[in-house]
Amino acid sequence: MPRSPLALAALATVAVPGLDAFDVRRPARPATDVDIAIVIDAARRRWVVRAPVNAAAGAALEAEVALLASLGDACDAGLLPFAVPRPVGFAHLPEGGRAAVHPEIAGRTLSPDELVPGPGLAASVGRAIAAIHELPPSVIEDAGLPVYDAETFRARRQAEVDEAARTGRVPATLLRRWEERLEDVALWRFRPVVTHGDLTNERVLVRDGVVSGVLHWGDACVADPADDLASILVAAPQDAADSIVEAYQLRRTELIDPHLVDRALLASELALARWLLYGVRTGDAEIVEDAVGMLEDLDEHTRTYEDAEPSLA
């Protein structure tokens, strides 16, 4: 059973000595693996308290906390042009693990609809993603988070597709398309970089027309840079997506990756396979049917698009 907002506020007062809780609110989009609340103190300062719901979530939170210390140093050094959560206190939980509390980062959730071409917000998003990818891999290694080379990462994606295929719920034409791209050796020649690992628009905060913060770093790893571009490029209008990619490429110091966008688009498709697998593993029929519907829509869209392409023969 989820912890109540009042219970989370009580944890915040334990974690941060002197915090006088005046009000507490649930976030607009609660997470599934942690209980989250926004606590407002008597001085109107806003705090975020996060408490893991199980042992696996607790271990992920501890790894994230270790990473956030290094990311905070990167912010102070000017390597990241946005803020990250900075835990200032912890409260031990009766069942084990800790709740973490950090000051709320100013900003609102990025809406893809507000992305327009040009040097504004779209370019800021591109530069923010590039800055993450420019960080030294040691920040991931020191936090004990995963590090993948290009071939190992491709093999992981192949294993996901194989597992999704065994469910019998993925359209055959879509599976063949994925297999072709996974077997294209040239497509998977990339230099692994520090990645956020789950960079949807909901993880990005915006203020005054620029990216002000990036949240939820529990899936960070050294992996394919295309994964961090996948969700945002697909959600953004096409002309704005071009501006994101252009700003990203200008910010990167080492970028010889002609298939970056191709892999990003593929990653956005494979995310649907992972959503299907999540539903299967958790026994959630609603998630399974949601994933199957999106996969069928994708299959229809890609077949229609490929049929419309002019023949090269």
The pLDDT of 120-124, averaged and rounded, is: 96
CA proximity to 232, closest of 209, 260, 199:
199
Question: What is the pLDDT at residue 255?
Answer: 72
Nearest 5°: CA angle at 209, between 207 and 212?
Answer: 40
Using an 8 Å Cβ cutoff, are 170 and 273 in contact?
Answer: yes
Using a pLDDT cut of 70, give the percent of the chain over it: 96
Calculate mean pLDDT across residues 121-128: 97
pLDDT higher than threshold 60 for residue 107: yes
Q: Is the pLDDT of residue 307 over 70?
A: no
- Tell me what the pLDDT averaged over the chain comes to: 92
Distance between CA atoms of 127 and 257, rounded to whole angstroms?
17
Residue 11 DSSP one-character state = H
Give pLDDT tens digits for 57-81.
888 898 899 999 999 999 999 999 9
Q: What region, left, alpha or beta, does residue 66 occupy, with left being phi > 0 and alpha being psi -120 to 50 degrees?
A: alpha
User: pLDDT tens across 8-65, in order?
Assistant: 999 999 999 999 999 999 887 666 788 999 999 999 999 999 999 988 888 889 889 9
Angle, CA 216 vertex, CA 270 and CA 223 arms, to 5°: 45
Q: Six-digit token pair at 281?
A: 């593993």
pLDDT at 311: 42
**Domains of the chain listed by start with CATH number:** 5-104 (3.30.200.20), 106-148+192-251 (3.90.1200.10), 153-191+262-313 (no CATH)
> Taking the complete model, does pTM exceed 0.85, yes or no?
yes
